[in-house]
Chains A and B, each alone.
Chain A
C-alpha cells in the first residue's frame, strides 16, 4: 500500500472525531491532530483503537505516544503493517 493510499484510509478513521471536515480533505504529514483538527486528546485513543481494527495491527503505548501528527500516524501504521 502506498503512503497516499494509507493517508486516504486514515482520513476515514479520523473523520468521526473531527468537526473540521473541510481541513480533513487537505491534511498532510504536518497536520497536528489536536491543534489543527481540534480533536479532543482523549479521542486520540479512539483513533488508535479504530486504526488497530482497520489494519489488524496492535499499537503499543510507546508507538501511541508518537502519534501526534498525520505523518507520525502514517509512520506507525506502516511500521506495524510491515511487521505482520
Chain B
C-alpha cells in the first residue's frame, strides 16, 4: 500500500521529496526524506554556503504531509480506478509555517502530519518536521486539494 502511494506521486527525481512512508492512516502520516548534497538548489542557495531553502522545506512538508495523505484518503474513498495511468494533481492552496532550525545538505528529516479535516475535497493538516535528534525544524498548517484528471467532479 505504501509503495503504491509512492508510485502515485506525480513528481520526478529532482522534485520528489519523499523517501519513506513509515506510518499512514486516516488521521495522519509520518514519512522521511534525506536531502541530497548534490541537489540543484544548493549550488546557488547560498554560494559557498549551502542551506536548504525554506520553500524546499515547505515542499517536503507538503508532499509528505498533504499529498501522500491526500492520495491515501481519496483512494480509500473511491479506489485507484485507473491504476498507474490515472493522474492525480495535487494543488497546494495555503500554508502558514514557522521555521525553527536550518537544514543542511545530507540531513534526514522526518515529517509528521495530523489531519484537521478532509471535506469537500480539501485536506487541512497540522504538519511538523523534525531532525534526527527529534528537534523541531518547522511547523505549520497546510491545506490543499487533489484533482484527478479524466474523472468528472
**B94 & A61 in contact (Cβ 8 Å cutoff):** no
A48 within 8 A of B: yes
Asked if B31 is at the interface of the complex by the 8 Å CB criterion, the answer is no
Bound complex: CA A49 to CA B117 (Å): 10
Q: What's the Cα separation between A32 and B121 when bound, in Å?
A: 21
A43 within 8 A of B: yes
Q: Per-residue 0/1 for B44-84: is the Cβ within 8 Å of any A Cβ (1 yes, 0 no)?
A: 00000000000000000000000000000000000000000
Q: Please, how many residues of chain B have a CB less than 8 angstroms from a CB on the other chain? A: 10
Distance in angstroms from B43 CB to nearest chain A CB is: 34
Q: How far is the CA of A25 from the CA of B122 in the complex (A)?
A: 28
Judged by a CB distance under 8 angstroms, whether B152 is at the interface is no
- Within B105-123, the residues touching A (CB, 8 Å) are 117, 119-120, 122
Smallest CB-CB A-B distances: 3 pairs? A42-B93, A45-B122, A45-B120
Q: A42-B144, A43-B143, A49-B117 are in contact. List 16 more A-B contacts (CB 8 A).
A: A40-B93, A40-B94, A41-B93, A42-B93, A42-B94, A42-B143, A42-B145, A43-B93, A43-B94, A45-B119, A45-B120, A45-B122, A46-B124, A48-B119, A49-B119, A61-B120
User: Which B residues form the contact surface with A (CB < 8 A)?
Assistant: 93-94, 117, 119-120, 122, 124, 143-145
